[in-house]
Structure 1
Amino acid sequence: MIRGKYILYCLCPFLTATFITLNVLLQRSCPYCPLFLSREVQPGSRTKLVLVLTYLRSGSTLTGDLLQQSPGSFYMYEPLRSHNSHIFLDGQVCQTFTMNCSKYETEKIIGVLEDLFQCRLQKHKMKVLVPRKHSLAIMSVVPFCKSRPGFDTCMTKIQTLCHRSSSVILKTIRVSMALLPSLLEKFPDLRVIHLLRDPRGILDSRRRGGFLRNTGIEQSARSLCDLLRINIEYSKILQRQFPDRITTVLYEDLAESPLELSHKLYRHLHLEYSDNFEEWVFNHTSAGTPNNSYYGTIRSNSSQTSQSWRKRLKFEDVKAIEKTCAGVIELIGFRNVTDKEDLQNTTRTLRIRDRKT
């Protein structure tokens, strides 16, 4: 009996080493297969967590694409997309274009975000799979999913990939700053990018996309700028409460100095660079390649794109937006136009030197 125990004791290290070796070999031959070892790597000190909080037509798709170029990142694009044109405030859900609100248990939305940041994806299949084409990580698993049909099998692969990622990145236009305190407390490594854009540029882009058909420029401006004002003020409170974890980024900064701002973002978020990082940034912002679509992220000249609203919007519409958004445009870092010439002369900057956000 004692001899048997001694033999088993001697074999244990060998069997463990063999088991680990087989596990490593499996992962090399099938990187998205679940581990033999049941150890679940929880996002935490090892995994960087990033939330891009932003607004419809604010340059967020480009920003999300930029961040997911980091090797080992797991990117989820608009996981709350099924809620359509709604945004969640503290205890309320509001229609994006009118800000008509009703009571809502927003703890449910916080719970969804907590699950996603912890790679608990099985009960959120549609939130992850429907917008899959925007995620490089999820698209890398699609060939396997097609060869072995079944949501559960597919989600197991995707979930395993999420657990093994060095960073988990979410981008959403459907959450307000008011929902962030509990997330920031639960995840000490979570960093938030608050992506802003000149509301005149946002509204011009929404108008071109047909989003203002039922509201008009003034009502849309009021809804947008009310939300911007609330979020900017709330972000100041969160920045004091959670130092260095809330970063305000201007789309115009990214468009005018894409490489410089990209490097700043990566350093701040501690993201790894891909080998072709600078080439990717250049090709998507400055290469002169024709714009690929209204919803695409390739721009022949992103700096010109960020100012193109000045050529398209009527002077009267611009002044209506400025009147409705009194104070918000300046708060973000821009000034009002003085006349038609000032509006259309893009060599004149509308920047205010000291941005107040």
Structure 2
Amino acid sequence: MADWRRLLYGAALLTGLLGQLLLIASLRDRHVLPQRWMQFDRSAGRDAPAHHTVATGLDDSVPRLIIIVSSSPRSGSSLLGEMLSTSINTAYFFEPFYYHLKQNISMASLSGAEVRATVTQLLNCHLEESPVLREAKFRRFVWKSRPPVGQVPPSTGVLARRCRTADTRVVKLVRPPLSALLPLLQDDQLGGRLRLVHLVRDPRGTVNSQLHASGVWSGVHRDPTAPCRRLRADLAAARPLRDPRYARVRYEQLALQPRDTATDLLRQLRLPWPTSLDSYLRRHMNASAAAAGRLQDPPARLKARMTTDQVRQWRQHARSRTRSKYFSTFRAPDFDPSHWRKELRPDVLQQIESECADVIAELTEDADETLKKGESTLTEQ
């Protein structure tokens, strides 16, 4: 009789264990981890997240530290920054060197060590020491974590305490050169927790976007090839790099395939899928034309009943609304990241393509290589 009791007890334990395994599987299927991240781990004989089998040797301990650096403004860095900081427990620092811009401190006057010191203070949550957060107006601009700070932002001490409890800390930058940030990968204090994401965009698209708000980017009219020189220098700085903590992302790929691009990026860097990223992508990548700031003309049926003056007033209002949405991260489903082809003046296009031919060629080659890797992955699957 005792043997039967032991058998029944063992069966109950096995049933409980099976229930836990089924629960784990159901959580996975409900996208706690995206299904496409799962691959069969033959060595273990079970399904395992693919990002656990790549970039071996990386330290994925909490807190995770992410730097997003773009080679120029208007390259989608705000979109990528929001995507990687959707989790509620993230400290997100948006353009800290905006402080230097408003203080008339040029980036050229800052040494690489000074740039790194500013970024390191934020990543380590030493916010009381950082001049970029000393004034309330800059704390309101730079600190983009949830919940928002409101019109009267908390002190740096309060924000520092929030920062130290965050699972992930993200710093988004467009002003420092990549060469000033690469030594941070060798910083013993940051260790293997650091990830460096380099966002690049075709310079023709960058210039076209800047020309839409020439009052913000006044220099683009004087020299439309300036973004090329910065991008050329950043590509040269990254070329010898063989560090799995560095990843390059093309804006065009991010805009056309945001979910696939995010999945590949997070898998490469061995980072978890951020909480709420799915809902963020649904909202931001499926905006109406009006929400995306692209509705210039009234609908055709309404336009047919309007006078010429009414149409003109509509367009003026639409242009004003578009300017207010210039920095928006919402995109309509039919958004074309290569819309510069229809909008750039022929003389400007010729100048960029003439003086930036090497940069455009390298980005095109990089895009072709990415496409080949994607096709290879699909073939293996």
Matched residues in 2 for 1:267 and 1:352: separation?
19
- 1:1-357 equivalences under 5 Å are 45-54=61-70, 55-84=72-101, 93-94=107-108, 104-124=110-130, 126-127=132-133, 130=138, 132=140, 135-137=143-145, 139-140=146-147, 142=149, 146=152, 154-186=155-187, 187-188=190-191, 189-210=193-214, 211=216, 213-214=218-219, 216=221, 219-221=223-225, 223-237=226-240, 239-240=241-242, 243-273=243-273, 276-288=276-288, 290-292=291-293, 293-301=325-333, 303-304=335-336, 306-333=337-364, 353-354=368-369
- Percent identical pairs in the alignment equals 24
Q: Structure 2 CA distance, aligned partners of 1:259 and 1:44?
A: 22
Q: Conserved in 1, the CA contact under 8 Å of 2:90 and 2:169?
A: yes
Q: Check whether the contact 1:256–1:302 (CA below 8 A) recurs between aligned residues.
A: no
TM-score normalised by L of structure 1: 0.68
In structure 1, runs of 5+ residues without a counterpart are: 1-42, 95-102, 335-350
TM-superposed CA distance for 1:171, in Å, is: 0.5
The count of aligned residue pairs is 274
Deviation, 1:200, is 0.2
- C-alpha displacement at 1:195, in angstroms? 0.1
Q: Indicate the residue corresponding to 2:309 in structure 1.
A: none
Write the distance in 2 (CA, Å) between the matches of 1:309 and 1:178.
29
What's the offset of the Cα at 1:142? 2.5
Match in the other structure for 2:310: none
Alignment check: 8 A CA contact 2:244 2:269 kept: no
1:251 maps to amino acid: Y
Q: Distance in 2 between matches of 1:66 and 1:56?
A: 17
What is the alpha-carbon distance in structure 2 between the residues aligned to residue 276 and residue 111 of structure 1? 31
Q: Which residue of 2 aligns with 1:15?
A: none
Structure 1 vs Structure 2 CA RMSD:
3.1
SS at match of 2:196: strand
Inter-partner Cα distance in structure 2 for 1:352 and 1:109: 30
With over 3 angstroms needed to count, the CA separation of the structure-2 counterparts of 1:134 and 1:256, relative to structure 1, is farther
Q: CA deviation at 1:278?
A: 1.8
Counterpart secondary structure, 1:333: helix
Which 4+ residue blocks in structure 1 deviate beyond 6 angstroms? 85-88
Question: What is the deviation of 1:284?
Answer: 0.7
Q: Structure 2 unaligned segments of length 5 or more: list them.
A: 1-58, 294-324, 372-381
* d(CA) in 2 for partners of 1:68, 1:353: 29
Contact 1:259 1:282 (C-alpha < 8 Å) held by counterparts: no
Question: Separation in 1 of the partners of 2:334 and 2:102?
Answer: 27
